[in-house]
Structure 1
Amino acid sequence: MTSTHESPAPNPHATAEQVEAAMKDSKLAQVLYHDWEAESYDDKWSISYDQRCVDYARGRFDAAVPEEVQRELPYDRALELGCGTGFFLLNLIQAGVARRGSVTDLSPGMVKVATRNGQGLGLDIDGRVADAEGIPYEDNTFDLVVGHAVLHHIPDVELSLREVVRVLKPGGRFIFAGEPTTVGNRYARELSTLTWHAATNITKLPFLRDWRRPQTELDESSRAAALEAVVDLHTFDPADLERMATNAGAVEVRTASEEFTAAMLGWPVRTFEAAVPPGKLGWGWAKFAFGSWTSLSWVDANVWRRVVPKGWFYNVMVTGVKPGSAAEPAGT
């Protein structure tokens, strides 16, 4: 059964005046940017709900939490904070991490897509438009809270983590993955900017015009990028993220990081894909991009992690537990 809490309607076409206002209001920018992106977000980031992304989501979970936790799955009820299109929670449920879940996001468009995706998969999901600094659920509601690439969008991260701890049952766990480190974000941004300028200028050449997206689409992408710069509020040092989680009342706090050389490839690849017409690159390119990213991720995990500081990797994950007795196992 899938239900959606009564929510504001999505606004996928922000006006110039709204964009200008959003430049001074980060939460308005969050709504406009993510409503804008909602219907195309899965395609933009190659998100799917098949075995490829099920394995990816489960891999992030397993990399962050202790092995003894992995042996006691599934959790009964889970919440995804800043759900986007539901990528993390929907794939974790399919991976056996949780039985049922709720999705929340500040963007009505994202909640609409996430609940629709859950319905299409036949999962037990409900959705609400919600501010992560004031989660609209009672104390001690969830066994698990998850999020992917969400904390860096939240103005007061520690307040949000306090809310996460509040809605967890005693002994319940949270895990947030896909958060940018300060060092990793710096090189990712620089590589993306260089790739965008190179691709959009080279495709002005007469013999490459078929590879150039219409100027109106490029301009819209530039406006979206301007909003993206407003909605990306934080980068993290792993130690600072651990401190915030501990201050929020969590115990057993730990971080892990991933993607070093994989990020140095992945960001230029994604930027190039956004600069050329959809479908132009074809299946061969997609296979090359994913295979290369997978290979470099293995090298990062098995070689570079031994010698490169944790904070130099692009992504950081954090997990922790609400103090108290362990959450009741599913089905008991």
Structure 2
Amino acid sequence: MTEQEVPEAPRGGRERPRRTATAEQVEAAWSDTKLAQELYHDWEAGSYDDKWSISFDQRCVDYARDRFEAVGGRPAQPYGRSLEIGAGTGFFTLNLMLAGLVESGVVTDISEGMVEVALDHAAQLGLDVTGRVADAERLPFDDASFDLVVGHAVIHHLPDLRTAFAEMHRVLKPGGRLVVCGEPTKVGHTIARRLSTLTWHTTRAVTSRVPALSGWARPEQELDESSRAAALEAVVDLHTFDPDELAALVRESGLAGVRTHGDELLASWWGWPVRTFEAAVPEERLGWGWRSFAYRTWRALDRVDRRLARVVPQAVFYNVSVTGFRPR
């Protein structure tokens, strides 16, 4: 499928109620990170696309292709069979397929809810995709099964990175490539969190204390309702990365040709406060005009970041991507 043939695509799939974790499950998850991963991502599955502005149209096709090619290069021909770990709702695999970089895909996630949504999207798009609930540290696939293994914003959730990379190496065919994108750097994450925290407290203070803006305050009931499972985010985000240390870890797994690439510097300084502001106010207050302005600004800053990537150290960008291949 070529870029020009991208079909009218779903956003959010069919309506799903949130999978609500019991108080007992949440309590247990505080000391069991894999249970926390499952509960948190099950809870987020139905709203994940909206939270992260995920779609399967030219906007996200371009984003996924650009992030992949920035670190993994442009392949001479599409990869035949691809595996994605921690696929969520299918953003990376499905958009790479729509971009013509992958012919068939297997999506996995520790969350059953995420796998269900990803397969729904694939079916609506008419893509050759299968899915399984799977732990990235114990992949249920034969050795040398895939031409490509990908991940996007996933390895910072994995408790045992050495075991996970060893598994990715194992299931790659000789000559097959690993491409993992969208992982937070130590410096970038620190800056983003501080900007987000400042934005959250400022927005909540202004909308609660200025009478003329009272209609912009998100109801406390909505915030309380989401707080229990959402609090598990503190448990599921396990790592931030130094690019050199990440590259060394991937080499340790046996992959060759390892390299990293930094993405989003100025764009993250804009994007994280914007997302935080959007979470702090009622959704109906923000129309298409706002969303278009926010996205166009992000895109402009991202273009600047691509030039900065030539001279600015990767460690200060928000995201780091890594690639390598299994020697023949």
User: Could you tell me the TM-score, scaled by structure 1's length?
Assistant: 0.91
Offset, 1:208: 1.8
AA paired with 1:265?
A: W
Q: What is the alpha-carbon distance in structure 2 between the residues aligned to residue 84 and residue 29 of structure 1?
A: 15
Given that 2:75 and 2:101 are in contact with CA atoms closer than 8 Å, whether structure 1 keeps it comes out as no
Q: Does 1:121 align with 2:125?
A: yes
Pairs aligned (count): 311
Q: Give the SS at the match of 1:134.
A: coil
| Structure 2 unaligned residues grouped into runs of 5+ | 1-16
Q: Does 1:197 align with 2:182?
A: no
Residue of 163, 171, 175 corresponding to 2:175: 171
Q: Does 1:30 align with 2:34?
A: no
Offset, 1:225: 4.2
Given that 1:80 and 1:145 are in contact with CA atoms closer than 8 Å, whether structure 2 keeps it comes out as yes
**1:10-54 CA deviation, whole Å, 9 max, x = no partner?**
971012222222111111110111011100000111100001000
Given that 2:139 and 2:167 are in contact with CA atoms closer than 8 Å, whether structure 1 keeps it comes out as yes
Offset, 1:149: 0.2
Q: What is the alpha-carbon distance in structure 1 between the residues aligned to residue 64 and residue 75 of structure 2?
A: 17
User: Could you tell me the TM-score, scaled by structure 2's length?
Assistant: 0.92
Alignment match, 2:7: none
Alignment match, 2:266: 261
Q: What is the alpha-carbon distance in structure 1 between the residues aligned to residue 321 and residue 223 of structure 2?
A: 33
Q: Give the SS at the match of 1:203.
A: helix
Aligned pair in 2 of structure 1 residues 192, 222: CA closer, same or farther (>3 Å)? farther
AA paired with 2:24?
A: E
Q: What is the alpha-carbon distance in structure 2 between the residues aligned to residue 310 and residue 185 of structure 1?
A: 13
**1:119-171 CA deviation, whole Å, 9 max, x = no partner?**
11010111100000001111111101111000000001121011001011110
Q: Does 1:106 align with 2:110?
A: yes
Offset, 1:313: 0.3
Alignment match, 1:20: 27
Alignment match, 2:50: 43
Cα RMSD (Å): 1.3
Q: Give the SS at the match of 1:307.
A: coil
AA paired with 1:273?
A: E
Q: What is the alpha-carbon distance in structure 2 between the residues aligned to residue 289 and residue 34 of structure 1?
A: 26
Residue of 112, 124, 144 corresponding to 1:140: 144
Given that 2:196 and 2:272 are in contact with CA atoms closer than 8 Å, whether structure 1 keeps it comes out as yes
Which stretches of structure 1, 4 residues or more, deviate above 6 A after TM superposition? none
Offset, 1:249: 0.8
Q: What is the alpha-carbon distance in structure 2 between the residues aligned to residue 11 and residue 45 of structure 1?
A: 16
Q: Does 1:217 align with 2:200?
A: no
Offset, 1:224: 4.3
| Identical residues among aligned pairs (%) | 61
Given that 1:149 and 1:177 are in contact with CA atoms closer than 8 Å, whether structure 2 keeps it comes out as yes
Q: What is the alpha-carbon distance in structure 1 between the residues aligned to residue 70 and residue 85 of structure 2?
A: 19
Alignment match, 1:309: 313
**1:58-89 CA deviation, whole Å, 9 max, x = no partner?**
001110123xxx24120111111000000000
Q: Does 1:229 align with 2:234?
A: yes
Offset, 1:279: 2.9
Given that 1:11 and 1:32 are in contact with CA atoms closer than 8 Å, whether structure 2 keeps it comes out as no
Q: Give the SS at the match of 1:279.
A: helix
Given that 2:18 and 2:45 are in contact with CA atoms closer than 8 Å, whether structure 1 keeps it comes out as no
AA paired with 1:294?
A: R
Q: Give the SS at the match of 1:47.
A: coil
AA paired with 2:31?
A: K
Offset, 1:222: 3.6
| Structure 1 unaligned residues grouped into runs of 5+ | 1-9, 325-332
Given that 2:21 and 2:229 are in contact with CA atoms closer than 8 Å, whether structure 1 keeps it comes out as no
Aligned pair in 2 of structure 1 residues 11, 219: CA closer, same or farther (>3 Å)? closer
Residue of 295, 303, 306 corresponding to 2:300: 295
Moved more, 250-259 or 304-313: 304-313
Q: What is the alpha-carbon distance in structure 2 between the residues aligned to residue 275 and residue 221 of structure 1?
A: 12
Residue of 317, 321, 325 corresponding to 2:325: 321
AA paired with 1:23?
A: W
Q: Give the SS at the match of 1:301.
A: helix
Given that 2:108 and 2:115 are in contact with CA atoms closer than 8 Å, whether structure 1 keeps it comes out as yes
AA paired with 1:26?
A: T
Alignment match, 2:285: 280
Q: What is the alpha-carbon distance in structure 1 between the residues aligned to residue 193 and residue 25 of structure 2?
A: 25
**1:69-116 CA deviation, whole Å, 9 max, x = no partner?**
x24120111111000000000000010111111000001110110111
Q: What is the alpha-carbon distance in structure 2 between the residues aligned to residue 258 and residue 285 of structure 1?
A: 24
